Structure 1
């Protein structure tokens, strides 16, 4: 039996070939609870296997001084919990390489932020030319495949520079990082620079995700009902939501309607789609690729991005599992 694990900064994902599980764990806030959380996982999930394939992005969390420390911390934790000498870690080499634990510890930067490689390598088995658009809770990976070769750069820094990694996602992104203004009743209105709301609020208000699909926390730590999301979005323009009768003029000037909030949400949605689409178009033009494939938590944006849902159920951890089945290890 094999198990694949993707250790993200916000979510830990596990796949054993049959069952996919995802657990929210904000490592940057709970580093000192990582081991106890892993122990809890062993109680919730059967992690007994003959071989483990690991990938990660959590090493970038700012609870670590650098990625070397992050990779080492994560792998030491897994080593202690899994009690196995058959733990392999995905390299960010796009030719798809799995390093044993000792080599991964020795060369930590070679396994940092490598999960996109699994997705790209798996799809490249079936698609000779494609642009993979993988929109997650926090980021969007845009991965070009040309003539069966993965053309993406290998580090986050290089992918940022080349427009292959866009720091925008459908759950955790602070709205001001999408736009510092909104179009409100025909005027450009600057928004607050506070962290009052995120994209999860936008897509809840617009009915595109459910409470269960919002797997991360809210900006204020409160609930994920529509009205709570509206309150957070209204706060970005320093207002409250009008939820009943208004008796005072000063109160009226500090409140906006639910319809107004919905319009603000639509504005941020449109701006985020424009950001992703511009990046996709640049890579399409650069590599002359027209086959858009979308996966990830943001796959519901497929129509807006003119992308196919052909691999809609695929994720990095599933791709990693399927690829290991081809290896004799």
Structure 2
């Protein structure tokens, strides 16, 4: 193993820091560190350095960087955020080579990224989708050593559904081609290729206006009383150890604590409500999240059908629900439920990648950098519209 063969993929977010270290096809390590950037932006370099120590990154490694941290409100603009993130990484690894992924799928140097910061802002979704598109162009290509091959997409497109702690990416792709219509966060939100709901950090008052309460619909409090993690922990879909963000009230991340926070959503407490009533609140929150993701899936799938018909490609596609949904992320159970509600076929990426399916942008960025010439836009015949 030489330093020149080590590639580290980074997904630097506003609430989590993720990295994957590769040597060729071998995964040497990975790390996920919860870090609320907006509370301590000056600590970002130290956090990146700490992640590097966990991964035992030696000198002269190559780094593939993607980010969403630029949206954090400690930065006045996204441009300022991009510059700050790249400066922090350079402070953590001053002597190493850095390449930054653009939203168009190219890798560029740090100076180019700083010169056009919006071209790299919020590009982590492209790392995931571009790698999947590249891998699925060759049916005999393996996702990781010892795994089963990724499905061949030459027969038609699929939709990546990556449900994270805060947001959900809904990205269409096919063999060798990313089919996303949006690039910036506002574009992607408006096109439903980005859904601002996630498995952990989403405030419940943002996903539902009312909750069931003793035979009626009770408006919920517009307060940060409970988050998605509370609902999913209460329902048994999220383990207490996976509650990887601060609780809204500073209380314990266990079922009792989650129940107390859920009860506050209707301005009650755990003494006033029974378990069945708390469960009804939690189920409503989870159901609304599934609805939002399923609706986005249906809209993206409908665009794929229209594209295929206009171009007379894949004429055998039966309908929008003929596409497979490739499920990834820490909230994979939400993605699976949403895909089934939307009527799509389900493929669980975790069955092929294991835990790496929860770090897909970091893993995808590292794999893409291994595969491409630095200045080659997409390599291996990969294209974006």
Partner of 1:107: 116
Q: How far has the Cα of 1:173 moved from its partner?
A: 0.3
Partner of 2:46: 36
Partner Cα distance (2:252, 2:40) in 1: 21
Taking structure 2 as the reference length, what is the TM-score of the superposition? 0.78
Partner Cα distance (2:187, 2:269) in 1: 42
Q: Which moved more, 1:144-153 or 1:319-328?
A: 144-153
Q: SS of the residue aligned with 1:142?
A: strand
Taking structure 1 as the reference length, what is the TM-score of the superposition? 0.91
Partner of 1:121: 130
Partner of 1:248: none
Q: What root-mean-square deviation, in Å, do the aligned CA atoms of Structure 1 and Structure 2 show?
A: 1.6
Unmatched tracts of structure 2, length 5 or more: 1-5, 137-152, 306-319, 375-385
Q: Which stretches of structure 1, 4 residues or more, deviate above 4 A after TM superposition?
A: none
Q: SS of the residue aligned with 1:80?
A: helix
Partner of 2:380: none
1:130 aligns with 2:158: yes
- Aligned pair in 2 of structure 1 residues 304, 42: CA closer, same or farther (>3 Å)? closer
1:45 aligns with 2:90: no
Higher relative contact order (CA 8 A, sep 6+): 2
1:173 aligns with 2:182: no
1:286 aligns with 2:295: no
Partner of 1:5: 10
Q: SS of the residue aligned with 1:212?
A: helix
Q: How far has the Cα of 1:77 moved from its partner?
A: 1.0
Partner of 1:276: 293
Partner Cα distance (1:22, 1:147) in 2: 29
Partner Cα distance (2:92, 2:244) in 1: 24
Q: Say how many residue pairs are matched.
A: 315
1:79 aligns with 2:90: yes
Q: SS of the residue aligned with 1:305?
A: helix
Q: How far has the Cα of 1:328 moved from its partner?
A: 3.8
Q: Which moved more, 1:134-143 or 1:84-93?
A: 84-93
Partner of 1:25: 35
Unmatched tracts of structure 1, length 5 or more: 243-254
Partner Cα distance (1:310, 1:236) in 2: 33
Q: Deviations over 1:221-279 (max 9, x none)?
A: 2211100000000011111113xxxxxxxxxxxx1112210111011111110111011
**1:190-209 paired onto structure 2 within 5 Å:** 190-209=219-238
1:234 aligns with 2:263: yes
- Aligned pair in 2 of structure 1 residues 50, 33: CA closer, same or farther (>3 Å)? closer
Partner Cα distance (2:213, 2:167) in 1: 27
